Amino acid sequence: MRVALVTGGTRGIGEAISVGLKDAGYKVAANYAGNDERAQAFRERTGISVFKFDVSDPEAVNAGVKAIEAELGPVDVLINNAGITKDGTIHKMGYEQWKHVIETNLGSCFNCCRSVIDGMRARKFGRIVNIGSINGQAGQYGQVNYAAAKSGIHGFTKALAQEGARNNITVNAIAPGYIDTDMVRSVPPNVLEKIVAKIPVGRLGHADEIARGVVFLVSDDAGFITGSTLSINGGQHMY
Ligand code: CAA
């Protein structure tokens, strides 16, 4: 049974991915950063093991991955999903607001990949899926930090895909559009209404609709797909 680590795996899109992978037959480790109550409720509801560590801190990630490997075995599948928003126009944005988003959303990809890549190379198998965003592809008013981090994820994915290919390690990205999660629900309602009006399918996405893409990209059937980005956004941005 393959072991999958899902960062930010107890809430929102990450929760759906954790459950989707469990249902597809993986042993899942769901990482979370801070919300103990939600994480424990998730564990009780799903039976999925939870591991608390800060993905923006390289030492914490190494310790967290060690704990996962001791309990479940080597990590074969990594889903870099953890992410935060700290929206604001640049003239109102402080350095901390910039740095926190870059380190959490993009730094985490480096930290987690760095921590599992040696094992994947040695075992000649790995599946990595990085969760980008429509706003990394198209930009978004009030999100220079988030858009830069998510755009960085798309470049990171293509570079690592080239490095991993010979060792049967595929690296892909999914770029979700606006999905019905706590993160999107925190956008001011008048702003969100205008955004939804521009989604051709006429609704927010469901977290499960992202999870199904992840389950496919990590499967053996997807072994020839690497360095790609799967946009799942209801037609809001096409390219
Ligand atoms: N383009 C051009 N102008 C815009 C604009 C846009 N998209 N959005 C707002 N403006 C204008 C407003 O009309 C307003 O102009 P006036 O003063 O002339 O009326 C001006 O900019 C200021 O707007 P706000 O009052 O909204 O400014 P604020 O400082 O109160 O808030 C903000 C700014 C925090 C960025 C707020 O607009 C906001 O939260 N926007 C949503 C950002 C967003 O979509 N975040 C996505 C979060 S979910 C996510 O990130 C998941 C994912 O991957 C998709």
| Any ligand 1 atom below 6 A from CB of 131 | no
Bridge partners (DSSP) listed for residue 4: 28, 77
| Any ligand 1 atom below 6 A from CB of 103 | no
Tell which one of 87, 91, 179 to mutate to probe ligand 1, the residue whose CB is within 8 A of the most ligand atoms.
Answer: 87
| Average pLDDT for the chain | 97
Looking at the CA of residue 85, tell me the nearest atom of ligand 1. 50
Span 168-220, pLDDT tens digits:
999 999 999 999 999 999 999 999 999 999 999 999 999 999 999 999 999 99
The question of whether 146 is a catalytic residue gets the answer yes
Span 21-58, pLDDT tens digits:
999 999 999 999 988 999 999 999 999 999 999 999 99
Span 57-93, pLDDT tens digits:
999 999 999 999 999 999 999 999 999 999 999 999 9
Query: What region, left, alpha or beta, does residue 141 occupy, with left being phi > 0 and alpha being psi -120 to 50 degrees?
Result: beta
Q: How far is the CA of 191 from the centre of ligand 1 (A)?
A: 7
Domains and CATH numbers, the chain: 3-232 (3.40.50.720)
- Other beta carbons within 10 Å of 239: 6
Cβ 133 vs Cβ 89: under 8 Å:
no
Closest C-alpha among 34, 124, 123 to residue 82: 34
- Kindly name the residue from 26, 32, 146, 178 that is annotated as catalytic: 146
Looking at the CA of residue 92, tell me the nearest atom of ligand 1. 29
Give the pLDDT mean for 141-145.
Answer: 98
